[in-house]
Structure 1
Amino acid sequence: MILRDAVDHYVAWRRAHGARFITSARTLYQFCDSCPDNACCDAVTESEVRRFLAGTGPLTRFRANKYAALAGFYRYAISRGYAVASPLPAADEEPRAPRSAPSYIYSREELQRLFGGVRISRKRAIRFDAETFHMLLLILYGAGLRTSEALHLTMKDVDLADAILTVRDTKFYKSRLVPVAPQLASALRSYAGLRGDNYGGRFTDDYDGRWDRPSGPVVARGGAPTGERV
């Protein structure tokens, strides 16, 4: 089977089983682009795979991600009869990526300066007002949400009475309930009272998926739109 057609089948199969499969799909299509046009699965050579894995930059952990994406695809292709064997080099022959730097743990004093500084300093490239940006950071830190999850919270997702956040359609299209600590719950109530319902149901903003291209009105400290464009 043609390599790109087999990748189409594999991507559709993974997504039909609940995976978003965005990054790995992008990697597989980049692999298709690196191979000759209309190449068959069995026509791909180990040298072509090694060249794709090596890329053009320094060795990073992304090489292991590319290897895992290709390995998963070829297991599928062999099981479906699209390929006879995998052209990937043996896993124990793969170079190990350098160890990442250790995580930095902020002290309580540093966190206080970070959250306090948001109220008085806001880059004009970000259209959130200071109170909104401050609340967003508190949610990320206090509830452990992903950035996209926090940005897509709606008013109905924030149960202020029971201090529970409902995070919808996250990884693998699942939803979950996230209880929050009393201190964060108090901040959520204060913010909800401050901003009213000026964002069409969004809890933090009428976010449209772009941080660097402001398109909405700035909200004044009192919660009413000012009409100003960032």
Structure 2
Amino acid sequence: MHEESRYKSYEFSGILAGHLQDFIAEKRGLGCIYNTEAKQLSRFSRFSLNYTITPDDLPENLVKDWIAKKPTDSDRNQYSRYSLIGQFARYMVRMGCSAYVPGAGDIGKTHRTFIPYIFTHDEIRALFTVFDSVETPLRSGAPRRKYIIPVLFRLLYCCGLRASEAVSLKGEDVDLEKGVLTIRDSKFGKTRYVPMSAQITARCAEYNKTRLVGIGEDDWFFAAPDGGRYDVRSVYCIFRDSLWKAGISHGGRGNGPRVHDFRHTFAVHCLQRWVSGGEDLTTALPRLSAYMGHHDFSATEQYLRLTSEVYPEIAALMSERYGYIIPEIEGVPDEKD
């Protein structure tokens, strides 16, 4: 992917524009794509126009007003502003500027760490029974849904892919001879290789015989009828409908289950199987971290706690063998992994 299409540009206003652009450049230089964050910081630069500030100062009143909760805010949106402006403030301090670094007390106790929904094995079986029976309605705008959905969701659960990674696969990224997926420019700007089981490779090979080829400029593995890639929003709508058909309740907006919980479930089920089978997790965890494309090892360690909570029958065994690497957490940061 070309750099100009990989990184999006936004306009910055006000006296802090230069600092904001330099901060984003530093993040991108470290391998982060940082498009969502750049867009939010562009909004912050316009917000700052209402304040009297000096070139090398990020004042407390500006920071607090920016992260203050709006009437329509979710906890997640507020925390996103708080986290990002905190990173920018610490950057300014490193650059020798004066900046107010917000603390947890500045957003109260509204933010909570997200607790992923871990599907049981029975729920996974029920969901895939639904996915495998997807039918295409007459006059549907997605006539190939019944071929795509069973394979796409298997990549989410059996390979732990993010939904955005699955729909971004191109034909050249799916090596059916070696059984390996190439995940390009993922969340943290990394490219990684994801081996598939023989069973999943066979599923992909069968689907490959039916997929659209030569439609549009890009050879998307999961191509939409117009030649574009399959849309993540469409995947989510199908997922919500499938939850209902499988008899799995949804907790409402922000509470899950979510499509991303297939990825969490993949990790927990792997750990459950490894612990039950006597695998050495001190060597298995680094492999899982690399396989899932985690930004750092701490994201993978959090699944140890989740596994012990979801499967209490192996909790004592995990504590005895690996208690020294099980973190004390309430959940995992939403969408950080």
Distance (whole Å) between structure 1 residues aligned to residue 106 and residue 195 of structure 2: 45
**What residue in structure 1 maps to residue 178 of structure 2?**
162
- The 1:188/1:208 distance shift into structure 2, 3 A limit, reads closer
RMSD: 3.1
Deviation at 1:151, TM superposition (A): 1.4
**What residue in structure 1 maps to residue 35 of structure 2?**
22
- The 1:121/1:55 distance shift into structure 2, 3 A limit, reads farther
Q: Is 1:202 aligned to 2:217, yes or no?
A: no
Deviation at 1:164, TM superposition (A): 1.2
Q: Unaligned stretches of 5+ in structure 2?
A: 1-13, 235-337
8 Å Cα contact 2:176/2:205 also seen in 1:
yes
8 Å Cα contact 1:125/1:212 also seen in 2:
no
Distance (whole Å) between structure 2 residues aligned to residue 71 and residue 190 of structure 1: 49
* Structure number, greater radius of gyration: 1
Code of the aligned partner of 1:40: T
Deviation at 1:99, TM superposition (A): 3.2
Q: How does 1:1-230 map to 2 (within 5 A)?
A: 2-36=15-49, 39-42=53-56, 44-57=58-71, 60-81=75-96, 83=97, 85-91=98-104, 94-99=107-112, 102-118=115-131, 119-121=133-135, 124=140, 128-195=144-211, 197=213, 199=215, 201-205=219-223, 206-208=227-229, 210=231
Code of the aligned partner of 1:79: R
Distance (whole Å) between structure 2 residues aligned to residue 39 and residue 128 of structure 1: 56
Code of the aligned partner of 1:68: S
Give the share of equivalent positions with the same residue, in percent. 26
Deviation at 1:130, TM superposition (A): 1.2
Secondary structure of 1:13's partner? helix
- The 1:175/1:87 distance shift into structure 2, 3 A limit, reads same
Q: Unaligned stretches of 5+ in structure 1?
A: 214-230
Distance (whole Å) between structure 2 residues aligned to residue 41 and residue 59 of structure 1: 32
More helix by percentage:
2
Code of the aligned partner of 2:167: L
- The 1:89/1:196 distance shift into structure 2, 3 A limit, reads closer
* TM-score, normalised by the number of residues in structure 1: 0.74
Distance (whole Å) between structure 2 residues aligned to residue 189 and residue 6 of structure 1: 50
Once the two structures are overlaid, the 10-residue window that deviates more, 25-34 or 117-126, is 117-126
Deviation at 1:211, TM superposition (A): 5.4
Distance (whole Å) between structure 2 residues aligned to residue 116 and residue 67 of structure 1: 42
Code of the aligned partner of 2:203: A
Deviations 1:56-102 (A, max 9, x none): 14561443332232222223223334x3x212344455423343564
Deviations 1:113-146 (A, max 9, x none): 3233334345856565211122111111211112
Distance (whole Å) between structure 1 residues aligned to residue 55 and residue 69 of structure 2: 20
8 Å Cα contact 2:164/2:232 also seen in 1:
no
- The 1:105/1:125 distance shift into structure 2, 3 A limit, reads farther
Secondary structure of 1:178's partner? strand
- The 1:211/1:140 distance shift into structure 2, 3 A limit, reads closer
* TM-score, normalised by the number of residues in structure 2: 0.53
In the comparison of the two structures, how many residue pairs are matched?
Answer: 211
8 Å Cα contact 1:126/1:211 also seen in 2:
no
Distance (whole Å) between structure 2 residues aligned to residue 59 and residue 211 of structure 1: 21
Distance (whole Å) between structure 2 residues aligned to residue 193 and residue 101 of structure 1: 40
